[in-house]
Amino acid sequence: MLRIRHSSVKRITDLQGALDGEDTVEQTYVPTAFLKVAKDKMDFVPTVVNYIYVQSTFNNIKAIKTQYPFEPLRFVMHPVFDENYNKLFEPLCVTDKQMHDFIRVTQEENDKVVFLSNLDYACRPSQGVQIIDGQFAGVVGRIKRIKGNRCVVIPIGKEIAVAITGLARNQLRALTDQELQAEEQTCTAMQQHE
């Protein structure tokens, strides 16, 4: 996941097109929605204009960052603790499963899908669940109550979170801590390539 400083709809669209043309990039993704862009015009535009997901190796992403100096691409950093409990920061690496679920949920227009603005609440630990029935069967997230409604929240680090609303209890399966850890494991490939 990369952060783009001072981004705009046109800049992020142009950058995504350029990165899609790179041989070293497997996939890029920017969530979009069909929104009003002018008084009488609707179009698909990015819903989160400062972030772009790039699937590649750490070394390839470092090379891409130097290749596009006009775009201030930055790693999204998150805190980790070493064996002496010293706080360090490392680039956020999203697991393939978590990103696949996020893309699947945000890829199409759906009234049940909502981007969350209260990331402090959305990213707090809670019961892990897997959706077992319906359009989003197989998606893993965390159960939250938002405005009294049961939702499954898929956070990407502490930067972006999306919620699926209107789910019945019988559509969900509670995950054990071990199952949830396996689903949300921290990507260590980044550190291995440094």
Q: What is the mean pLDDT of residues 55-64?
A: 85
* pLDDT for the residue 115: 85
Of 74, 163, 148, which is closest to residue 118 (Cα–Cα)? 163
Q: What is the mean pLDDT of residues 17-38?
A: 79
* pLDDT for the residue 61: 85
- Sign, CA dihedral 60-65-69-71, equals positive
Regarding predicted confidence, which is higher, 171 or 20?
171
H-state helical runs in the chain: 9-20, 58-67, 96-106, 119-122, 177-183, 189-192
* pLDDT for the residue 14: 78
126-160 confidence digits (pLDDT tens): 889 999 998 899 999 999 988 888 899 998 888 88
66-98 confidence digits (pLDDT tens): 877 666 778 888 888 888 888 888 888 888 888
115-124 confidence digits (pLDDT tens): 888 888 888 8
Q: What is the mean pLDDT of residues 11-40?
A: 79
* pLDDT for the residue 70: 60
* pLDDT for the residue 189: 41
> Residue written as tokens 């997230």?
141
The share of the chain scoring above pLDDT 90, in percent, equals 10
* pLDDT for the residue 164: 92
Q: Is the pLDDT of residue 43 over 60?
A: yes
* pLDDT for the residue 3: 80
How far, in Å, CA of 159 to CA of 143, rounded?
18
When the pLDDT of each residue in the chain is averaged and rounded to a whole number, the result is: 80
CB 105 within 8 A of CB 98: no
